[in-house]
């Protein structure tokens, strides 16, 4: 229970002070994040429920999206710093031409897992209306927060949120 309270306070602090337009997805009863299975750029399927017990950031993006490119380096740093401490980042490309994704990842030295959603089926399930859009899923698999637009994911507030939720 203390972990959930800390995570809620950390999420609220992030929303209130550090990440404009970050909206808590905390309701009276936690809402489970819709599970999914996506093909990945490596050919291995990505399944959200396979990450239960970890804090997961699901980031919807595209190679043609300048604000997405803007936040990618910070997301990579956040991922590298916390990937061994109960956090993962699942980037979901909505590029219609999936063949552009791997060269983009390679040229920008991005190492986090990337799922492919060329028909935007998952994006529609999550009601994505702008890119980038990021959803934070807690260790129990519930939606905890939403950020629309680019963010400084390697700032103190983001690190505190991940550290607090991963405890």
Q: How many domains are there within the chain?
A: 1
Q: Which long-range contacts (CB under 8 A, 24 or more apart) does 103-106 make?
A: 104/63, 105/41
For residue 113, the enclosing domain spans 2-166
> Can you give the pLDDT of all 167 residues of the chain as single tens digits?
444 433 443 444 444 334 444 445 545 578 999 999 999 999 999 999 999 999 999 999 999 999 999 999 999 999 999 999 999 999 999 999 999 999 999 999 999 999 999 999 999 999 999 999 999 999 999 999 999 999 999 999 999 999 999 98
Q: What's the whole-model pTM score? A: 0.84
- How far out from the chain centre does Cα 95 lie? 17
Cα 125 from Cα 139, distance rounded (Å): 20
Write the CATH number for 29. Answer: 3.40.30.10
């Amino acid at each position: 229970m203390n972990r959930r309270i800390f995570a809620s306070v950390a999420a609220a602090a992030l929303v209130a002070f550090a990440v404009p337009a970050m909206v808590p997805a905390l309701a009276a009863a936690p809402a489970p994040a819709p599970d999914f299975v996506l093909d990945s750029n490596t050919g291995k399927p990505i399944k959200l429920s396979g990450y239960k017990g970890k804090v997961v950031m699901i980031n919807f993006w595209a190679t043609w999206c300048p604000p997405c490119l803007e936040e990618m380096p910070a997301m990579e740093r956040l991922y590298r710093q916390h990937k061994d401490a109960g956090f993962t980042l699942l980037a979901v490309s909505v590029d219609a031409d999936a063949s552009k994704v791997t060269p983009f990842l390679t040229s920008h030295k991005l190492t986090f897992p990337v799922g492919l959603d060329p028909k935007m089926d998952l994006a529609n399930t999550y009601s994505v209306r702008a890119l980038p859009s990021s959803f934070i899923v807690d260790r129990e698999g519930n939606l905890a927060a939403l950020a629309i637009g680019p963010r400084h994911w390697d700032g103190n507030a983001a690190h505190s949120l991940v550290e607090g939720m991963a405890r």
